[in-house]
Amino acid sequence: TRVTWLQRAMRVTRRPLRALLLILAATDAFIGPAPLRCRVPRQASDRDGSIDDADEAARVAAFRARLLKGGLDAVAKDVEPTEDEDNDEDPEWARVAEKPRTGVVLIGRKDWFFADKPSGQVKSALKRVGLAADAAQRIPEDRLAGLVPVVLILDGAQPKSEGFSGVLLGRRSGYMMGDLKELYTTGFMLQPLWVGGPTVEDAFSSPIERTVGAPEHGATTGIVAVHPYAPETVPGSVPLTDDGLYAGGDWRTASTLVEKGMANPFRFRLFAQATRWQPGELEKEIKEGAWLCADVSTDLLLKDRDRGARPLALDVLEELEKSK
């Protein structure tokens, strides 16, 4: 049966606090094995209307109304400074990349992933991106385009020894950061939490810090931030592309900047877990025709996409056609 709500599990270890781990399955995106389930006491949240502070409850309600009406792009305009628009270059672009590497976006080929009779390799690839082996038969045709996997590679520096790891783009968890009361989410309570993939092991082995929401200094949470803020703004952030896309960085600094209005929270994408390939696996899938490799602009990657919006994969493919 289809997983209808996000299942959450958290493990906290102290002295020192090293891990606050989330095991996630998206409401509409992941169709596969039942997720690991651990019970966590439910606390007050805007989801059940039991926020203690009435003013905060009203603010959340107003935000949700604006979000439904205009999306995150409309909300972001209220807090993001106006940039110089004299530059004629289109900020949303995509170009074919020669091979997978850090910062490259992988676009899954619909006819390969959703074949009527998937091969063993296709089934393995589907599992890697959190989809069932018989996804083509279980997912309505009009939803397939929205579930074509799109992965941003976060770590591809040592493909021969370490393989590749990244995060799925566009897989909703159904939760906002403010729903996770165990985390430090000041300034980001209304930000969606995205599912980066079904792999948990990579969450604490990546060279990019996964410290989003860490309640104590030096703690890891398994959640990574992707954003446009360089190390000069968010110390410790790691460059992914030459177009100003970064990952990780000091979470407390990012939160402080957002609180002071010096950084835009709607330019952050927060991902739990990862999508991972062992050495040689991704190269083999590419050779078999599973993926297109693309360099994609930061503005196109961070563009808001409400439910029902045009899938990122289609936008990237359209830009790739323009670049030919």
Distance CA 97, CA 107 (A): 11
Q: Which two tokens stand for residue 307?
A: 């439910």
Distance CA 134, CA 117 (A): 9
Q: Using 50, 70 and 90 to split pLDDT, how confident is the model at 304?
A: confident
pLDDT tens-place string over residues 200-247: 855 456 678 888 999 887 788 889 999 999 999 999 999 999 999 999
Q: Using 50, 70 and 90 to split pLDDT, how confident is the model at 194?
A: very high
Whole-number pLDDT of residue 68: 52
pLDDT tens-place string over residues 41-87: 333 333 333 334 444 454 455 555 555 555 544 444 444 444 444 55
Whole-number pLDDT of residue 89: 74
Distance CA 208, CA 251 (A): 12
Q: Which two tokens stand for residue 260?
A: 């002071």
262-280 mean pLDDT: 95
Q: What is the identity of the amino acid at 201?
A: E
The pLDDT of residue 40 is above 70: no
CA distance readout (Å), 215 to 19, 188, 201, 253:
10, 14, 21, 13
Contact between residue 7 and residue 35 where contact means Cβ atoms under 8 Å apart = yes
pLDDT tens-place string over residues 108-152: 999 999 998 999 999 999 999 999 999 888 888 888 888 899 999
Contact between residue 125 and residue 109 where contact means Cβ atoms under 8 Å apart = no
Contact between residue 81 and residue 69 where contact means Cβ atoms under 8 Å apart = no
Whole-number pLDDT of residue 323: 87
| DSSP reduced 3-state for 285 | helix
Q: 275: part of which helix (H) or strand (E)? A: strand 275-277
Distance CA 156, CA 176 (A): 29
Beta bridge partners of 149: none
Q: What single DSSP character describes residue 160?
A: H
The pLDDT of residue 8 is above 50: no
Whole-number pLDDT of residue 241: 97
Q: Chain-centre distance of CA 249, in angstroms?
A: 16
CA distance readout (Å), 243 to 57, 103, 230, 265:
38, 10, 11, 19
> 36 or 291: which carries more pLDDT confidence?
291
The pLDDT of residue 313 is above 80: yes
* Residues ≥6 apart with Cβ < 8 Å to 301: 105, 152, 169, 226, 245, 312
261-270 mean pLDDT: 94
Contact between residue 210 and residue 228 where contact means Cβ atoms under 8 Å apart = no
> 11 or 146: which carries more pLDDT confidence?
146
Distance CA 69, CA 57 (A): 19
Burial of 218 (0-12, 13-18, 19+ CB in 10 A): exposed
Q: 223: part of which helix (H) or strand (E)? A: strand 223-227
Q: Which two tokens stand for residue 149?
A: 């996997």
